[in-house]
Structure 1
Amino acid sequence: MRKTLTAVTAAAAALIGACSSAPEEKAGKSPEASMLGLEVRGDAEVEKFDLNGDKSADDWRYYIRKGDKDTPRDQRPRLLARQDLDLNFDGTPDVRRHFNEQGTVVREEMDLDFDGQFDAIDYYSDGALFRRDLALNFAGTPSIIKFYNEAQLARKERDTNGDGKMDTIEYYEGGKLIRIGEDRDGDGKPDVYTEVDQDEPAAGGGG
């Protein structure tokens, strides 16, 4: 069981790493992508792309038209609002990216085990990752929440007993684990704190 969980965790980390490129790169098409069509839905437009040459959509771009509705449609700004990507080409999106009006990613959802349910959600502010929710039990509810400050892990919250509540909090400074808080009575607040030798590496503290 431990080996299986380790393998799944490694695969999840690889997928997250692959999806965590710079925001300006996230909306780019691969050189092989071919456009299958454009669907118009009111003020929304959907572009569909084939990434692997099988004539099926693997990349969906959702745009919205902004501005006065009395202005001709093609004269109003078109903004990318969302992008869906099918990484294993089964017809179901595995990555969903949400963009703000400046075209920067603000949220990215990932299906780590390709079961059609998103297991990881990254949150961005001004292009920088500040929070990552992980449902490593693949039940849809986060079992780990990571908080970042200037690209460094600052805090990690864990649900260790599977009750849907975070009961262990790890605190980091400079990339190193310095303190662990445990909520033993289930009131949502740590009851016991353990200081960690700062000379020790932060186990599992990256990414």
Structure 2
Amino acid sequence: MDRIDEPAAPAAPGTAPPAATGAVIGADGLARPPWAATDPLLRDYYDTEWGMPVRDEQGLYERISLEAFQAGLSWATILRKRPAFRAAFDGFDPDTVARYTEDDVARLMGDSGIVRNDRKVRAAITNARAVIALRAEGGLADFVWSFAPAATPEPRTVEEVPTRSAESAALSKALRGKGFAFVGPTTMFALMEAIGMVDTHLVGSHRRGTSGVWAAG
């Protein structure tokens, strides 16, 4: 990993055990990756949200923000704090966050319900302003989705899931060029997974191919 602000992390929002790990059959008979197999919160997130297309500006801005806050932490931590994040950042409305001042930075840094990291807080504000600027070029959603790859991985184990790609590196570079921060290639690949731009559900998982973007494989 060559980014000082983006520690290496698994692409899926959990930590994989060291041994080769394929899909796990749950008590309900459904196959899921290990990170979504036991924790009820992660299981529900996996079953209902992760990997489903997000094509609206506010939804994408929220996910870019949360992926940045996740860097160096577990996704479970961010998911549990998501209601507090949404309250603290006014529902991740870009127009509102873009108007934040130093008083808001101080408020956020004093909010124990979120991840209190000055650089990440400021990045969220910077990125809100960048989102607004992108409207003149068609908007954040069209911009992000223009980097969708022509093919998606077909991992059978957690170890086969990539953590970055040529497309995520290109998206990272392009977003940086538009003034975004905390959008490294690994973070952007995690975003691409979360919003359905790639399908890294393990082959055999009951969720693979359900996004409508990619056929089951």
Above 0.5 in TM-score?
Answer: no
User: Which protein has the bigger strand share?
Assistant: 1
**TM-score scaled by length of structure 1:** 0.28
**TM-score scaled by length of structure 2:** 0.27
Which has the larger Rg?
1
User: Which protein has the bigger helix share?
Assistant: 2
More relative contact order in 1 or in 2 (CA 8 Å, sep 6+)?
2
